[in-house]
Structure 1
Amino acid sequence: MMSNPTGQGFHCFHCGLRLAPGTVQCPRCGAPQNLAWPSQGGQPPLPVAEEPLHPAVTAIITVFFGLFGLIPCLISTSRAKRLNRTTRPYWLAFWIPETLWLLLVAFLVIGMIAGFGILAREAGGNPGGEPNPAASVSSYPTTAPSATSSEALSWPVGATECSPTVAAGSERTSCEFALNVADAWERSPRGETQTVEAYSPVTGQDYTMTCASVSGYTTCTGGNDAVVYIRG
């Protein structure tokens, strides 16, 4: 049985809450109160609750170790609650340094990512440390093609261009056949007049074409009234 000779109540062994005489269990922390009071002078001894850690302890640990500052913060808030004190200073001592710490880490990460991106762009745009060809512009003037060159000549009237160097010169000449004639002409020996054999995918037949240089073009005629113009 408890010893309470004064009949004035007592304090909880665990949390220090003032209890009424005869209380067997603390309503705050649930600690049993059925131990005999060691009395001194007719008064039960009052338990001494532990003091919370100073907020500076939490702040220092948080600054250097980040989230590990939460450990002293929780210890301090728990002790403050037992003493019916506010927990605000201990939470502030944790969250203010922690927020600054997280911002610093975020800035460092963003800076590293940006730095790696710049290095990657420089390495990709100038591999091997060689001068960037796109950055240097030649100071030598370019020479425009002469008006009398073969590329400056326009196709004869009625010709249909099949490629930059080949044109079909009549309605009965298909581009497929004209390109085959030009290919056969390229592979044949040069002379003032050349005779080539070319296949027409349209008719499925081979035709003989006679080619000669006329007015800056090589003009090939023959087959079924076919006409082919070749530049170069």
Structure 2
Amino acid sequence: MKVAALTAAAAFALAGCADGEADGEVTTVTATDNAPTQDTAPPEAPPAPTTDTDAAVETTTQTGGPGDEVPADDLPYEPVGSEVTIAGEPSTICIHGDGWGTNIWAGNENTSCEFVIATHEALIEGLNATEDDIRDHLRNQVEVYSPVTEQEYTLTCAPRNEKLVTCSGADDAAVHFY
């Protein structure tokens, strides 16, 4: 029992020490207990430290795709104009501030900030900034006029986790908000 607890603690410690992961990647740590199920140490002795033979740890990395869930803790909160990675793709933060239950609005490298702002305006139309959460009124599709290309585009919007929503379409454009 003690060995199993130490094995689980070691797995969690290894998961917390993972460094250098690319943004938008999820690390999964799996621990396998290979130790005997019977406690062999005398009652007064402290538990033996866990060694490589006590637990096997497997680490896998997955990159999220456009429809995949993205960990909410991996979302950047940088100033407007910052180049960041959201949902595994390079993006620029275009709007920063509270309202409609959001803080950040950003576009991927195929999306201008003017288009992000136009998408924001289309999605918040008729909503109260202090009372309404945009997720509660999210439309599956939204028509957005681009001031840059002077064309209208249809975007499909979908939640990626409890915070992040991505609206995509229009020549590989993506507008992220959370």
TM-score band w.r.t. shorter chain: 0.3 to 0.5
Give the strand-richer structure, 1 or 2. Answer: 2
Larger radius of gyration: 1
Q: When the two structures are superposed, what TM-score results if normalisation uses the length of structure 1? A: 0.31
Q: When the two structures are superposed, what TM-score results if normalisation uses the length of structure 2? A: 0.40
Give the helix-richer structure, 1 or 2. Answer: 1
